[in-house]
């Protein structure tokens, strides 16, 4: 180990103790929670977290580099029970070591390169169907509408459910499964008992979703996954070097993972972007000046190439990273900014702190898409999708999806915020979204 100037013990005395009040503060105001920890203790600092114990947190690009560039073997399987009930024991998120490496390799192809292009059309189609419901002078909640769009994208592009008569049943199953895993069930494993009604309700909704997923997997296997383009079928077709694929149960857990990881995250990012664009006319005007020359309905291929639209999305994910912290469980000792952190402990990058580090970001609390025009940042300065071997599987899909949805909305309708008061982030399950559903009014509806 190089440059280890301090012992881990130097960090231990000042760590925060467990208190349900602190957990609730973290859920309610995650930005203040991380800023307070760093201000009190420095960087890295130590924080107690449920199911993990001491977690050594950094928000410095050097610390992010230490963690993201460490060899895969530095870390072990994520034993925390926070997400297991939601995702399942075979989910990529909870696997470690060789199993994680193999499964990620099997899951990667549908999310990259040419494959992505196939989904552009579906994303735009789903967006247009939703915005057709926004009548002139009507009011709607942007976050709810955006969640409907991203859920529908998962339904069609990932699960391959094309029959509209099936959509309502699936929508209901997916949203009750997601909503019934409450923040209290996430953070306090002790409550996961059948006598606690919310837990029983969650188990019931998970059973229903699993049953639907397994039926869809059998359906694809029966008629031949090679005849379908959805991600469910591509996962069934995926093979490793030994020509082994994923079992139906593994595919089922991975589909649940994609639902959890890909639905609220993209919708939350889009909600922030919608809020900021409509809160500042100069941003809105610049976005339109890029879209207008492309005609009445820019194609998905055109939208993904627009620099300002891209900057709007990137800046939304900078100022409010949807996943506020990425955590690793150490299999070996590691050096974190000169401190030796022993095996068995957890280390983490607070993306909230990283994305506001004053060495990199000028005036970090201001939303300014221009920071992403003609400027790139290293993967240790800007990391909304995490980094290293566990980097987000949807890191290419999510911005692709966000740009198509946002560009289609901006090109088709004119909206305004009903309430332009400042909104703040709040934690829900694993993601951090706005604490408002963002009420909006339709000034001009689709032609
Ligand atoms: C704006 C949207 C999104 C954001 C901000 C986001 C962010 C993240 C972050 C920070 C991680 C943890 C990475 C780490 O530990 O280093 C992650 C993991 C993951 N994300 Fe995303 N994500 C988004 C959308 C999606 C989508 C659309 C999908 C798939 C449909 C997806 C699938 C996953 C999966 C499977 C993992 C686990 C990867 C692993 O453990 O190897 N995400 N995401």
Q: Which residues contact 382 (CB under 8 A, 6 or more apart)?
A: 314, 318, 354, 355, 360
CB 399 within 8 A of CB 111: no
Q: Answer yes or no: is 179 within a domain.
A: yes
CATH code at position 423: 1.10.630.10
Least confident range from 6-15, 50-59, 258-267, 351-360: namely 6-15
What's the burial of 28, exposed, middle or buried (CB within 10 Å: 0-12/13-18/19+)?
Answer: middle
Q: Which residues contact 292 (CB under 8 A, 6 or more apart)?
A: none
For 22, the token pair is 């602190």
CA angle 386, 152, 259 (to 5 degrees): 40
Of residues 325, 315, 295, the one with CA closest to residue 80: 325
Write down the H helix ranges in 238-350: 248-279, 281-291, 300-303, 307-319
Res 2: pLDDT? 44
Share of the chain above pLDDT 70, in %: 95
Rg (CA), the chain: 22
Cα dihedral angle (376, 381, 385, 387), rounded to 10 degrees?
Answer: 110
pLDDT band at 260 (very low <50, low <70, confident <90, very high): confident
Alpha carbons 322 and 324: distance in angstroms, whole number: 6
- pLDDT tens, position by position, 393-412: 999 999 999 999 999 999 99
Q: Answer yes or no: is 1 within a domain.
A: no
Q: Give residue 266 CA to ligand 1 midpoint distance, Å.
A: 10
Kindly report the average pLDDT of the chain as a whole number.
Answer: 90
Residues β-bridged to residue 339: 6, 336
Q: Give residue 358 CA to ligand 1 midpoint distance, Å.
A: 26
Least confident range from 7-11, 102-106, 222-226, 399-403: namely 7-11
For ligand 1, what atom is nearest to the CA of residue 387? Answer: 16
Q: Answer yes or no: is 419 within a domain.
A: yes
| Region for residue 228 given its phi and psi (left: phi exceeds 0; alpha: psi -120 to 50; beta: otherwise) | beta
Of residues 227, 222, 184, 225, the one with CA closest to residue 202: 184
Res 1: pLDDT? 43
State yes or no: pLDDT of 357 exceeds 50.
Answer: yes
Q: Give residue 206 CA to ligand 1 midpoint distance, Å.
A: 21
Q: Give residue 350 CA to ligand 1 midpoint distance, Å.
A: 15
For ligand 1, what atom is nearest to the CA of residue 388? Answer: 16
Q: At what angle do helices 142-153 and 114-131 cross, to 10 degrees?
A: 140
In a 3-state reduction of DSSP, which class is residue 2?
Answer: coil
**Count of domains for the chain:** 1
State yes or no: pLDDT of 53 exceeds 70.
Answer: yes
Alpha carbons 413 and 132: distance in angstroms, whole number: 9
Residues at CB less than 6 angstroms from ligand 1: 92-93, 104, 257-258, 261-262, 265-266, 269, 317, 322-323, 326, 384-387, 390-394, 397-398
* Residue 336 belongs to domain spanning: 8-444
Q: Among 64, 385, 388, 427, which is best to mutate for testing ligand 1, by the most ligand atoms less than 8 A from CB?
A: 385
Share of the chain above pLDDT 90, in %: 67
Q: Give residue 57 CA to ligand 1 midpoint distance, Å.
A: 19
For ligand 1, what atom is nearest to the CA of residue 263? Answer: 27
Of residues 104, 9, 89, 67, the one with CA closest to residue 325: 67
Res 39: pLDDT? 84
Q: Give residue 74 CA to ligand 1 midpoint distance, Å.
A: 20
| Region for residue 352 given its phi and psi (left: phi exceeds 0; alpha: psi -120 to 50; beta: otherwise) | alpha
Task: Give the CA distances from residue 117 to residues 1, 17, 146, 210, 298, in Å, rounded to whole numbers and listed in that order.
Answer: 44, 49, 21, 29, 15
| Region for residue 60 given its phi and psi (left: phi exceeds 0; alpha: psi -120 to 50; beta: otherwise) | beta
Alpha carbons 221 and 231: distance in angstroms, whole number: 13
For ligand 1, what atom is nearest to the CA of residue 401? Answer: 27
Q: Among 160, 316, 394, 396, which is best to mutate for testing ligand 1, by the most ligand atoms less than 8 A from CB?
A: 394
Q: Give residue 165 CA to ligand 1 midpoint distance, Å.
A: 30
Q: Give residue 202 CA to ligand 1 midpoint distance, Å.
A: 23
DSSP codes of every residue in 103-169: HHHHHSGGGSTHHHHHHHHHHHHHHHHHHTT--TT-EEEHHHHHHHHHHHHIIIIIS----HHHHHH
Give the length of the chain.
Answer: 447
Q: Number of helices and strands (H, E) in the chain?
A: 17, 12
State yes or no: pLDDT of 119 exceeds 60.
Answer: yes
Other Cβ atoms less than 10 A from the Cβ of 79: the count is 12
CB 27 within 8 A of CB 325: no
Q: Give residue 267 CA to ligand 1 midpoint distance, Å.
A: 13
Q: Answer yes or no: is 382 within a domain.
A: yes
Res 127: pLDDT? 98
CB 321 within 8 A of CB 269: no
Q: Give residue 323 CA to ligand 1 midpoint distance, Å.
A: 8
For 367, the token pair is 């939303």
Least confident range from 26-35, 96-105, 283-292, 338-347: namely 26-35
Q: Answer yes or no: is 2 within a domain.
A: no
Res 11: pLDDT? 67
Q: Among 153, 261, 405, which is best to mutate for testing ligand 1, by the most ligand atoms less than 8 A from CB?
A: 261
pTM value is: 0.93
Of residues 412, 400, 403, 398, the one with CA closest to residue 129: 412
Cα dihedral across residues 358, 362, 367, 370: positive or negative: negative
Q: Answer yes or no: is 31 within a domain.
A: yes
Q: Answer yes or no: is 3 within a domain.
A: no
Res 305: pLDDT? 97
Res 5: pLDDT? 59
Q: Answer yes or no: is 186 within a domain.
A: yes
Other Cβ atoms less than 10 A from the Cβ of 69: the count is 12
Backbone angles phi, psi at 410, to 5 degrees: -65, -30
Strands 53-58 and 431-434: unpaired
In a 3-state reduction of DSSP, which class is residue 197?
Answer: helix
For ligand 1, what atom is nearest to the CA of residue 231? Answer: 30
For ligand 1, what atom is nearest to the CA of residue 154? Answer: 30
For ligand 1, what atom is nearest to the CA of residue 254? Answer: 35
Res 37: pLDDT? 82
State yes or no: pLDDT of 17 exceeds 70.
Answer: no
């Amino acid at each position: 180990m190089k440059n280890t100037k301090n012992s881990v013990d130097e960090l231990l005395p000042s760590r925060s103790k467990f208190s349900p009040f602190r957990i609730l503060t973290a859920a309610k105001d995650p930005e203040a929670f991380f800023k307070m920890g760093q201000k009190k203790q420095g960087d890295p600092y130590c924080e107690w977290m449920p199911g993990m114990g001491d977690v050594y947190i950094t928000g410095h690009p050097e610390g992010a580099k230490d963690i993201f560039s460490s060899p895969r073997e530095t870390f072990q399987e994520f034993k925390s029970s926070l997400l297991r009930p939601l995702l399942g024991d075979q989910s990529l998120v909870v696997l470690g070591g060789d199993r994680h490496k193999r499964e990620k390799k099997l899951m990667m192809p549908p999310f990259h390169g040419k494959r992505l292009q196939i989904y552009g059309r579906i994303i735009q189609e789903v967006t247009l169907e939703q915005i057709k419901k926004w009548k002139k002078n009507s009011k709607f909640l942007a976050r709810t509408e955006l969640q409907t769009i991203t859920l529908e994208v998962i339904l069609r592009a990932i699960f391959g459910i094309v029959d509209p008569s099936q959509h309502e049943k699936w929508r209901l199953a997916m949203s009750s499964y997601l909503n019934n895993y409450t923040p209290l069930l996430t953070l306090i494993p002790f409550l996961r008992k059948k006598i606690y009604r919310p837990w029983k309700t969650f188990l019931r909704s998970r059973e229903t979703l699993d049953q639907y997923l397994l039926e869809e997997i059998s359906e694809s296997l029966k008629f031949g996954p090679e005849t379908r383009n959805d991600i469910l079928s591509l996962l069934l077709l995926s093979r490793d070097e030994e020509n082994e694929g994923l079992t139906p149960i593994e595919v089922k857990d991975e589909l649940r993972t994609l639902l959890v990881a890909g639905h609220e995250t993209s919708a939350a990012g889009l909600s922030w972007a919608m809020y900021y664009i409509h809160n500042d006319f100069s941003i809105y005007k610049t976005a339109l000046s890029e879209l207008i020359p492309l005609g009445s309905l820019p194609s998905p291929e055109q939208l993904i190439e627009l620099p300002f639209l891209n900057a709007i999305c990137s800046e939304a994910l900078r100022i409010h990273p949807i996943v506020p912290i990425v955590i690793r469980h150490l299999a070996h000792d590691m050096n974190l900014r000169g401190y030796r952190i022993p095996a068995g402990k957890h280390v983490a990058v607070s993306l909230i702190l990283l994305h506001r580090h004053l060495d990199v970001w000028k005036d970090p609390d201001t939303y300014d898409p221009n920071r992403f025009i003609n400027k790139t940042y290293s993967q240790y300065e800007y990391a909304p999708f995490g980094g290293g071997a566990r980097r987000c599987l949807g890191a290419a899909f999510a911005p692709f999806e966000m740009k198509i949805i946002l560009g289609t909305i901006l090109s088709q309708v004119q909206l305004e915020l009903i309430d332009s008061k400042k909104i703040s982030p709040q934690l829900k399950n694993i993601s951090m979204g706005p604490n408002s559903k963002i009420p909006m009014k339709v000034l001009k509806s689709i032609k």
